[in-house]
Amino acid sequence: MKVLRTPESRFRNLADYPFEPHYVHVDAGDGTGARLRMHYVDERPADAVKPSGQTILLLHGQPSWSYLYRHVIPPLVAAGHRCIAPDLIGFGRSDKPASRFAYTYQRHVDWLREAVFGRLGLLDVTMVCHDWGGLLGLRLLAEHPGRFRRVVATNTYLPTGDQDVGRAFHAWTQYSQRADPFDAGTVVEAGTISELSPAVKAGYDAPFPDETYRQGARQFPLLVPITAWDEATVPNRNAWAVLQTLSVPFLCAFSDHVILLPQAPNTDDPSYAVPHPDQWLRERIPGAQGQPHTTIADAGHFVQEDRGPELAAIVNRFIDSTR
């Protein structure tokens, strides 16, 4: 497996990203014993702040990296919580296999599992998952429920290939394969209400010096199960069988401008109501019953960019209410 590593010079002096890098190594999954370096942010309360004993795992999606959480982490740390924000393989400071075919849904689950459980040994975790962070994190929740204390899901869901993902998703898939260049900063800005500064867009573009580094980002949309025959269809169905039994406290904090919603199946029934993604989660996961689910106003898909401190406050209140 040929592996690329973004030069460290690309990450110097990024806007509002003062965090020190940390690394673990995970099995590449190609049968050779090769290892991939995976980056994560690990921020803890200062000496003057009483630690809460809570660990928050912040999972990003496509095509962002831990930079997405730069305005969420500081207020949570100030509240006494430890915050860990990994960069998925292929993103951020983490290694990037050069072949897009090295990236599979199962490998992403395995890479993340080994990093946060096998290497970091996290237990009693509060997970905040967004976009692909949910597609991976909800699998980990179903497969290792005993490691989680609570979950906050924002603008994500767990598809099984049994729903029509809709025209917007197909348009996104086409764009992800044809855009030249495929700039992360441009994509993130398209999914926000606020206008991003050139410095912030450069922060999202930093991991990808050229096209050779973007193969993981290009491949992600193609890994979403959209039929009964996709690789992740059966594992995700199995995950739902577990999720529908879990009493782990589960909060939905979606924005009011969510994109890429699942659509109704082919039906002639005009009364069929298309479930909102957070409805799928709220109605099917027992731990979501009776929780103070919220909609974050004036926020796009990348809610952390539009309303980062507000999301942090929601997470902190949820922790306080479920101790």
Q: Which residues belong to the active site?
A: 131, 269, 301
Distance CA 191, CA 200 (A): 14
Q: What is the largest CA-CA distance in the chain?
A: 62
| Cβ contacts of 34 within 8 Å, gap of 6 or more | 1, 3, 27, 28
Q: How many angstroms separate the CA atoms of 139 and 36, rounded?
A: 21
Q: Residue 303, class by beta-carbon neighbours within 10 Å (0-12 exposed, 13-18 middle, 19+ buried)? A: buried
Place of tokens 């996961």: 285
| Torsion on CA atoms 299, 301, 306, 310, rounded to nearest 10 | 70
Q: Where would I find the beta strands (DSSP E) of 50-207? A: 55-59, 82-86, 96-97, 125-130, 148-154
